[in-house]
Amino acid sequence: MTKRVAILISGGGSNMLALLRDMGMGGHPARPVLVASNDPAAAGLAKAAAQGVPVAAVDHRPFKGDRTAFEAALLAPLLAAEPDILCLAGFMRVLTPDFVNRFAGRMLNIHPSLLPKYPGLHTHQRALDAGDAQAGCTVHEVTPVLDDGPILGQARVPVLEGDTADTLAARVLVQEHRLYPAVLRRFAAGDRTPVLL
């Protein structure tokens, strides 16, 4: 039985598109059942809809920081899709422990650093400021502690002379689009062996 995957986005959704592309290949153990966003204007929603994937948007702004109320509204379309797996892909809202625990063991996120280094924001600038020779991205299981769950995959890139946060982000993003699909394919098949690229 193929696993049902819901994907949460906040913007362009390039990682979401990479997941859709891979699930569209033959022999994949999962299929997309919903793409949802906290921003009704997220460009990724139209891209997902164009591929026939059901979409939903719950604008977080009217909830004025009441995370629990926003999440209750988001859960309506999410639970209606009956996902087995939840993929956060460029989703920029911090989720409450109650929400995370509802999907314990079956919620993934991609983070643009080699965790445990640089949880949080501005990861590429922090790697540059630290003089790191390598950077990269991590897919991890989401737990109540931000960017802290068990690592399910990592991809490394070199930091090059003259790199800016933007040039490094672009190099890492290419690897994100390879890593996340590889991890989801393995995770949906019940294999939690980390993917290392």
Q: Which residues bind ligand GRF (CB under 6 A)?
A: 9, 11-16, 89-90, 110, 112, 137, 173, 176
Q: Which residue, 11 or 144, has its beta carbon nearer to ligand GRF?
A: 11
Shortest Å, Cβ 169 to ligand GRF: 6
DSSP 3-state of 154: strand
What is the rounded distance in angstroms from the CA atom of residue 107 to the CA atom of residue 141? Answer: 6
Amino acid (one-letter) located at 78: L
Amino acid (one-letter) located at 125: Q
Tell me the residue number closest to ligand GRF, measured at CB.
Answer: 90
Q: Which residue, 6 or 9, has its beta carbon nearer to ligand GRF?
A: 9
111 annotated active-site: yes
Shortest Å, Cβ 20 to ligand GRF: 11
Shortest Å, Cβ 4 to ligand GRF: 20
Tokens of 154: 């990592």
Amino acid (one-letter) located at 103: F
Q: What is the DSSP secondary structure assignment for residue 94, as one 8-state letter?
A: P
Q: Which of 60, 111, 124, 177 is catalytic?
A: 111
Cβ 49 vs Cβ 55: under 8 Å: yes
Cβ 135 vs Cβ 159: under 8 Å: yes
How many beta carbons lie within 10 A of that of residue 122, not counting itself?
13
Cβ 140 vs Cβ 111: under 8 Å: yes
Q: Which residue, 132 or 176, has its beta carbon nearer to ligand GRF?
A: 176
Shortest Å, Cβ 5 to ligand GRF: 15
Nearest of 192, 161, 180, 152 to residue 20 by alpha carbon: 180
Q: Which residue, 72 or 143, has its beta carbon nearer to ligand GRF?
A: 143
Q: Which residues are catalytic?
A: 111
